[in-house]
Structure 1
Amino acid sequence: MSRKRSTDEGDELLARLGSLTAQARRRAEFQRTQVELAIALQRGMLPRDLPAAPGLHLAVRYAPANIGLNVGGDWYDAFCLPDGRIGLSIGDVQGHNIEAAAFMGQVRAGLRALASVTGEPGELLACTNDLLLSLGGDLFATCTFMRLDPATGVLESARAGHIPFVWATADGKSGVVDDEGGPPLGIERDVAYPVTRHRLTTGGVFVLVTDGVVEGPSLDMEDGLDQVVRLAGIAAVAGLEARALAAAVIKGAESVGHEDDAAVLVVGLDGPSTAPRRGRAEPAVTG
């Protein structure tokens, strides 16, 4: 083989490698842009403010999964209903891409819009389910919706395939709510979602989470929920603020491997600070 032919082949190989490198960089830049856009969508769709009522304490934390392309569609929400009660929701959209983040916005907006017609949790989830099916998408979402009367502490909840929430009382009792749920939103038509009534007692807390908080490579869901139960129990007995509990729960999500979004919504009544204040929802966006 001549020296010239060897040089030409080497130049051709270098040119090919250069072309492949440039393609890889373009793909990486496109993927990075998609991730950044999805995270921006998530942050833009999460509520800036939380409702306020005498004795009511709400706190949220949210950590997007930004390992590789694992950007999902978890959300939390809290808003005033027409009758003066408060609507609370938390959920998780199937998938980890920009489509999941956009679908999350549709679900959250649908819940808010339909809540002006009916705030009854079971009916609201059923209507939202029908709405999503009418849009003809391929994605689905799990969700818990609650209607809370802060004056009485009475809370009604319904679940659509979502993780059950955790409760704790100031006298040292705590556990995972044992209620009946329905299928995720966007899968089956004409679904009924059972409603369960609870009472939030003075000093008590309810903790709602998404699966990124309690399930991952390092921890199964049962152990993850037990971890949240322990934290909630300690917080209720010690009289810790709702935001301190939310921060502790999202911190605990690190032990599960945290390859998925992680969202936490804490609801407390008559905590250590009794003066209600309306402010920004300290997001809780970390990570």
Structure 2
Amino acid sequence: MTRSTRRITRQTATLVWLAAVAAAVVVCVGLDPVDTPFTALMVPLLLGALVLGPRQLPWFLGWMAAMLGVAVALQPERSARILGASLIQAVMILIVLAVAVRRGRLGVGGMAGESMFVDLRDRLLDQGRMPHLPSGWHVEAALRSAGGTPFAGDFVVSTRTADGRFEVALVDVSGKGEAAGTRALMLSGAFGGLLGALPADRFLPAANDYLLGQAWEEGFATAIHLSLDLATGVAEVRTAGHPPAVHRLAGSGRWNVMAAGGGILGLDPDMDFPVARVQLAPGDAVLLYTDGVVEQPRLDIDLGIDRLLGDAEQILRGGADGTASRLVADLGSESDDRAVVLVSRA
């Protein structure tokens, strides 16, 4: 028996069990309407809405409508008093039916549908997990979505290549929170496949071509791509309409902006993405971030970058661990998605 067949069998068994419960409630209402509330029919109705799939739920709702009619017919002397409760339950059945039709179009239903979205969220978060780097290198990433929702328009993909390079891309999809979550999920899978499979200078052009091919109404994104040679410490940074990376020089404690330029992804097929190169010496660090970290209402973005660098310098003096998480927690606006990636050399 296949997995889908077993799932259908379980759903059918659940349908039969809930139908029996509804019938038992109706019998109890008919035998003892005083001690058995008429509204007890709401219990199997809500259980069915939660656990039944899009195929079984309409049949169950039809059965519930029939049980509602039987329950009313069994109490002719109370029909006037329970008219309001009957109408409310009928409306609830119609509401659940409307939800079932919508879920049927999506091909999901009940708790299984919610589990699917939880799985999608977890996959998006898994894409942002950093690979293990050799001794002497430290990398961490932190993301926080607008309003604290599980889905965000910012995401990170990273990889280590066979030739000894570490590559990471931080992407900001158009929109915020859940509205951008589905696009971010799709792009994270595509960009994760491109990262490391192409030469560093071909990643952003390929990502741009992919976005253009989707023809989405809101199909643009900004991105920043870091390619680091773990043996030499040479880092290449390319941006696509994204806030610039910043480089910390351990010797002086200064931060230099790595302005590389490059247009927004998904708008122009003929886009160039210039490169900015730095040599990471021991104690140096590179910080990538999204605009939600440095942009706030009535605050110039340059002031936002200055505040980011001031906080980052103060935190890094106590060690690199936890820097990204503290920055996304302390900076930016709660109404915008925020993400930070920190790469440092010990």
Give me the TM-score of the superposition, normalised by structure 1: 0.73
Q: Determine if contact 1:218/1:257 at 8 Å carries over to the other structure.
A: no
Q: Is residue 138 of structure 2 the alignment partner of residue 57 of structure 1?
A: yes
CA distance in 2, matches of 1:83, 1:61: 27
Which of 1 and 2 has greater Rg? 2
Q: Is residue 342 of structure 2 the alignment partner of residue 263 of structure 1?
A: no
Amino acid at match of 2:340: V
| CA displacement at 1:218 relative to structure 2 | 6.5
- The one-character-per-residue Cα deviations of 1:212-257 (angstroms, maximum 9, x if unpaired) are 2111236442222111111233345x2x33223223312222xx33
CA distance in 1, matches of 2:114, 2:330: 24
Could you tell me which residue of structure 2 aligns to residue 131 of structure 1? Answer: 210
| CA displacement at 1:182 relative to structure 2 | 1.2
Q: Determine if contact 1:132/1:186 at 8 Å carries over to the other structure.
A: yes
Amino acid at match of 1:72: A
SS of 1:144's equivalent?
A: strand
Q: Which stretch of structure 1 is more off in the superposition, 44-53 or 221-230? A: 44-53
Change (3 A) 1:114 1:71: closer
- Relative contact order higher in (CA < 8 Å, ≥ 6 apart): 1
Q: Determine if contact 2:146/2:177 at 8 Å carries over to the other structure.
A: no
Could you tell me which residue of structure 2 aligns to residue 248 of structure 1? Answer: 326
Change (3 A) 1:36 1:181: farther
Change (3 A) 1:39 1:226: farther
| CA displacement at 1:163 relative to structure 2 | 0.8
Tell me the percent identity: 28
| CA displacement at 1:52 relative to structure 2 | 1.4
- The one-character-per-residue Cα deviations of 1:110-164 (angstroms, maximum 9, x if unpaired) are 22322344231x3210011112212222321100011101221100110011111
SS of 2:146's equivalent?
A: coil
CA distance in 2, matches of 1:53, 1:206: 17
Amino acid at match of 1:62: L
CA RMSD of aligned residues (A): 3.3
Aligned positions, number? 245
Where does the alignment leave 5 or more consecutive residues of structure 2 unmatched?
A: 1-82, 104-110
| CA displacement at 1:102 relative to structure 2 | 2.1
Could you tell me which residue of structure 2 aligns to residue 161 of structure 1? Answer: 241
CA distance in 2, matches of 1:265, 1:103: 21
Q: Is residue 266 of structure 2 the alignment partner of residue 182 of structure 1?
A: no
CA distance in 1, matches of 2:235, 2:312: 18
- The one-character-per-residue Cα deviations of 1:58-90 (angstroms, maximum 9, x if unpaired) are 1111112126x8953101222112322011111
| CA displacement at 1:36 relative to structure 2 | 10
For residues 193-212 of structure 1, the aligned pairs below 5 Å read 193-212=273-292
Q: Determine if contact 1:204/1:269 at 8 Å carries over to the other structure.
A: yes
Give me the TM-score of the superposition, normalised by structure 2: 0.61
CA distance in 1, matches of 2:189, 2:292: 22
| CA displacement at 1:42 relative to structure 2 | 4.3
Could you tell me which residue of structure 2 aligns to residue 171 of structure 1? Answer: 251
Change (3 A) 1:53 1:184: same
| CA displacement at 1:197 relative to structure 2 | 0.9
Q: Determine if contact 1:93/1:141 at 8 Å carries over to the other structure.
A: yes
CA distance in 1, matches of 2:147, 2:115: 9
